[in-house]
Structure 1
């Protein structure tokens, strides 16, 4: 009986060891493939479509918006990160290059456009006169379109920010994952 248990244990360990070797081998190959993927150079197509719907749906209720930022290159991200640190101005982001959904074409920022074409970041403004903040109305439209809104964040409230993560973390994106990897 002892020999059968020993043989079974050895057999089990060999099978497990072989499985781990194959799994680890495939994982390493797959990871290398992911890391060689290039960064996007613009908005992801679904984000761009939803951005256009956001503009149209806001306009339908009397709110004109301007998309102030979309895809952001690593250089642009580092420049923004430097504001209030290595350059003059207020801190506008805590994300360095590669740490923002903007860097992967998955985020946009908006502002309200007035009749005279000036732009404001006034979250209390009610230019369509319905008793609700235009800003929060736009955020709700964005959320209904599938965006996550920075105004809902617990720590740092980023009211102009809308993003679509497709279930991917920044770490996933840094490793090379892209939304099409997650969509059926």
Structure 2
């Protein structure tokens, strides 16, 4: 009989612990969701992304590569239109991210292209305008990675060659809940 009482007591404690754990988890989720209600979607690039974008353009110019930033912060509406491209509208698929699912929507990503010697903006990843035997596109990507950008051309799932982003360790899910990188924290690194 004493063994049965101990088993019942043990299971009662386990059940109480699980209930408390679930309650604590639900409270944490509510707090994160509340945080997101007050965090607006940025309309400009994050200051660190902006600064490193400008450094990238200067570094590329120093090796005779003319980089053009074709897009920075992107509205949710624009993101949805790009997502529709190649699906419900004409053209090729250019993104797998719907509105709110791209680092562009949070001011943490840029897209680039090159300007050739004729002044035309091109997306030719094999173009070697500075005639050093290396594709300019990949040279720019290496410069960007040296500045802390993640390059979409390194992705295995969907190679997005024009895309550069800085996540600051935040996932899209965290950004959707309203978490944002802090400027002061990231400039001290």
| TM-score, with length taken from structure 2 | 0.82
Q: Is 1:34 equivalent to 2:73 in the alignment?
A: no
State the SS of the aligned residue for 1:46: helix
Q: 1:79 to 1:73 in 2, by over 3 A?
A: same
Structure 1 residues not aligned, in runs of 5+: none
State the SS of the aligned residue for 2:182: helix
**2: CA distance, partners of 1:37 / 1:151:** 30
How many aligned residue pairs are there?
Answer: 179
Match of 2:102? 100
1:131 positional shift: 1.1
Q: 1:18 to 1:156 in 2, by over 3 A?
A: closer
1:45 to 44, 47, 65: 47
Match of 1:112? 114
State the SS of the aligned residue for 1:179: coil
**1: CA distance, partners of 2:29 / 2:89:** 42
1:90 positional shift: 1.2
Q: Is the 8 A contact 1:42 1:71 kept in 2?
A: yes
Per-residue CA deviation, residues 17-67 of structure 1 (Å, 9 max, x unaligned), is: 889867864663353123331110111111011100110000000000100
**2: CA distance, partners of 1:53 / 1:172:** 28
Structure 2 residues not aligned, in runs of 5+: none
Per-residue CA deviation, residues 102-147 of structure 1 (Å, 9 max, x unaligned), is: 1111000100111222111111111111111111000000000000
- Greater relative contact order (Cα 8 A, min sep 6): structure 1 or 2? 2
Match of 1:61? 63
Match of 1:74? 76
Match of 2:153? 151
Q: Is the 8 A contact 2:48 2:183 kept in 1?
A: no
Match of 1:178? 180
